[in-house]
């Protein structure tokens, strides 16, 4: 029996593992996934220690390539700026992408007023940099940070996480915007709920990332 192509999922947060793995398994059963996690990378990013964070992420990509020979490596951490991703791509022996890149590309096609919902502080600037890098012209970015929500999710309280995130989303959606991006994959399961609360197009990273992976590997 022919083995399924392997996609390596490289994580910096425990909150990303189940959403991405479950989505890929459900919507792309022809692909296999392997997860590599170092949640210490989140501490490095929070401390702005990008050199150490890149070293750890690069090590996980190299391990994935050596041990599993994936057809692609997907970084599920959104707190990496485009410049950091380019460093990882240059070092990587395999196709490497960040999970939110296709989402950001789709969002900037909607207009120049983009809302960013985040729960990890470093993600706000990184997502803004990504949106600006992909946009055909100037953007006006409005962000809403629900930092306590991520802490609650990691502590095992998804209900309060969802409540705080919904409150933050409603504040963001009150602005005149052309699109809203859910900047972290841990929010993706709330995509339909949030879209039902506003006429503004809401984007999450799972579907667009998977489609890009399928397109890349044929």
Going from the first residue of the chain to its last (218 residues), give the mean pLDDT of each consecutive group of 10, the final group possibly shorter: 86 94 93 96 92 96 96 95 94 95 96 97 95 95 96 94 97 98 94 97 94 84
Residues 109 and 168 both lie in one domain: yes
Structural domain range at position 11 = 6-99+206-217
pLDDT of residue 2: 62
Backbone CA torsion sign across 125, 129, 130, 132: positive
Residues 51 and 142 both lie in one domain: no
pLDDT of residue 217: 78
Residue 77: give its domain's CATH number. Answer: 3.40.50.1860
Count of domains for the chain: 2
Using CA atoms, how far apart are residues 20 and 139, in angstroms rounded to an integer?
A: 29
Positions of E strands within 90-212: 96-98, 113-118, 140-145, 179-182, 202-203
Residues 165 and 211 both lie in one domain: no
Q: Is residue 114 part of a domain?
A: yes
Residues 21 and 43 both lie in one domain: yes
Q: Is residue 1 part of a domain?
A: no
Residues 198 and 105 both lie in one domain: yes
Residues 131 and 170 both lie in one domain: yes
pLDDT of residue 74: 97
Q: Kindly report the pTM of this predicted structure.
A: 0.92
Using CA atoms, how far apart are residues 68 and 59, in angstroms rounded to an integer?
A: 14
Residues 109 and 199 both lie in one domain: yes
Positions of E strands within the chain: 6-11, 32-37, 72-75, 96-98, 113-118, 140-145, 179-182, 202-203
pLDDT of residue 3: 83
Residues 143 and 171 both lie in one domain: yes
Residues 86 and 155 both lie in one domain: no
Using CA atoms, how far apart are residues 149 and 49, in angstroms rounded to an integer?
A: 23
Residues 183 and 211 both lie in one domain: no
pLDDT of residue 121: 94
């Amino acid at each position: 029996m022919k083995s399924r192509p392997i996609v390596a999922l490289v994580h910096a947060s425990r909150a990303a593992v189940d959403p991405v793995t479950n989505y890929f398994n459900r919507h792309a059963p022809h692909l296999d996934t392997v997860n590599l996690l170092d949640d210490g990378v989140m501490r490095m990013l929070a401390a702005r220690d990008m050199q150490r964070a890149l070293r750890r992420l690069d090590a996980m990509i190299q391990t994935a390539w050596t041990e599993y020979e994936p057809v692609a490596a997907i970084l599920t951490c959104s707190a990496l700026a485009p410049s950091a991703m380019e460093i990882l791509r240059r070092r990587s022996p395999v196709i490497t992408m960040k999970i939110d890149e296709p989402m950001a590309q789709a969002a900037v096609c909607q207009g120049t007023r983009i809302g960013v919902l985040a729960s990890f502080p470093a993600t706000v600037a990184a997502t803004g940099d990504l949106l600006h890098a992909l946009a055909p012209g100037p953007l006006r970015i409005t962000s809403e940070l629900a930092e306590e929500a991520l802490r609650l999710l990691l502590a095992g309280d998804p209900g309060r996480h969802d409540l705080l995130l919904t409150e933050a989303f409603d504040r963001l959606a009150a602005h005149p915007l052309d699109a809203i991006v859910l900047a972290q994959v841990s929010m993706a399961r709330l995509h339909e709920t949030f879209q039902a609360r506003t006429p503004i197009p809401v984007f999450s990273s799972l579907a667009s990332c998977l489609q890009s992976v399928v397109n890349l590997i044929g």
